[in-house]
Amino acid sequence: MQLSDLCEILGKRGIAARLDGLDKTISAVNTLDDAGDGEISFLSNPKYLARLQSTRASAVIVGDGVETPASLSTIRCADPYGAITVAIIALHGHRRHPQWGCSANAAIDATAQIGRNANIAPGAAVAAGVTIGDNCTIYPGCYVGEHARLGDDCTLFPNVVIYDHSELGNRVTIHAGSVIGEDGLGYAPNGDKWVKIPQVGRAVIGDDVEIGANCTIDRATLGTTEIGPGTKFGNVIVIGHGTKVGPDCLFVGLIGVAGSVTIGRHVTLAGQVGVAGHLTIGDGAMVGAQSGISGNIEPQAKVFGSPAMAMDEAKRAIAVIPKLPEWVKRVKELEREVAQLRARMNAADQSDATPANAKL
């Protein structure tokens, strides 16, 4: 692909771009450090500016006003990160799946309804009453339970398990080892024993959701656990039973959300966030890494810490933590000084209170 062709593609995607320098041929995208001849890279974070001087890339995508070496062909635009995403798709495309058709070595129940262009691998299992939409790909080791439903263009990577009666929308991608619709943690106390509460609800995943590896989404005790359309999960995320996650959320990884939580639209949870049960997190909220959420979060709020507090307040609180040992030492010194001053004052008061003749 020529750089001029890439500029044209970017323009069609709504990213105005112009080419400075030679119109070179490029075949791949790579990092500034690793790129070589015939590859294009990008700069969106100013802290990597110096790497523009040493990169061996044939071309780079940068923002307006960023200086680049004269020998380096440069595409300039307002959004280099968005532009490089378009470039990656244009040059590399999305992952290409092996093509098995409906493998004779897959265990597909006769009552399952399989859509057009199904791509079901050897070793996959599809139970009775399942509905699978058009153009779905199911890798080896996957299990789709009874009466589960998959929309069109879904992809289940190896060893994904979809429990019975769970529902996936269109264009859902679930990565290896994740489980949808397993029983939630539902037990009633009986003396010193725990009695299992049957989990008779469902798990429902909306359109255009992507779920990382080794995630678990509990089915509801009653009703549904829901993941809204367009939401994206990283790896190792646990969603408790009856929780409802809104559209277009981003959960980074190692996140635990307890049961019966309501999470609004476009909420971001950074890594290792924990959310207690029966809470509400409002639309557009952002939660910093390793935060513990023990109360409701207002829409658009930015919080951090454990327990979580307003982001600016949390940063100030954390900034003083390294100084605490010094302050504790100083407080102890001040306490000793105050104690000495009090002792002197008491001694002086006693001396002043002594009768004059007693001093003779």
The closest alpha carbon to 60, from 44, 45, 74, 80, belongs to 74
Coil, helix or strand at residue 88: helix
Q: Where are the chain's structural domains? A: 3-92, 107-314, 323-359
Give pLDDT, residue 292.
Answer: 97
Report the pLDDT value the prediction gives residue 124, as an integer from 0 to 100: 98
Range 3-92 classified under CATH 3.40.1030.10: no
What is the distance between the alpha carbons of residues 59 and 38, in angstroms, rounded to a whole number?
8
Note whether 202 and 166 are within 8 A (CB): yes
pLDDT for position 94: 86
- Please identify every stretch of the chain with a pLDDT value under 70, giving residue numbers as ranges: 353-360
**347, burial (CB in 10 Å: exposed 0-12, middle 13-18, buried 19+):** exposed
Q: 147, 165, 175, 241: which is the annotated catalytic residue?
A: 241
Whether residue 241 lies in the annotated active site = yes
Tell me, which fold does domain 107-314 have in CATH? Answer: UDP N-Acetylglucosamine Acyltransferase; domain 1 (2.160.10)
Q: At what angle do helices 80-92 and 3-12 cross, to 10 degrees?
A: 110
pTM: 0.84
Among the listed residues 278, 309, 274, 277, the one whose alpha carbon sits nearest the alpha carbon of residue 292: 274
One fold for 3-92 and 107-314 = no
3-state secondary structure 150-174: ECCCCEECCCCEECCCCEECCCCEE
For the chain, helix (H) and strand (E) counts, in that order, are 4, 35
CA–CA gap between residue 298 and residue 194 (Å, rounded): 35
Residue 259, both tokens: 């049961």
Residues 354, 345: Cα–Cα separation, whole Å: 15
**8 A C-beta contact, residue 26 and residue 9:** no
- In tens, the pLDDT along 302-354 reads 999 988 999 888 888 888 889 889 999 999 999 999 999 999 998 888 877 66
DSSP strand pairing (292-293 vs 143-144): unpaired
| 3-state DSSP helix/strand/coil % of the chain, to nearest 5 | 20, 30, 50
Specify the DSSP class assigned to residue 72.
S
- pLDDT for res 356: 58
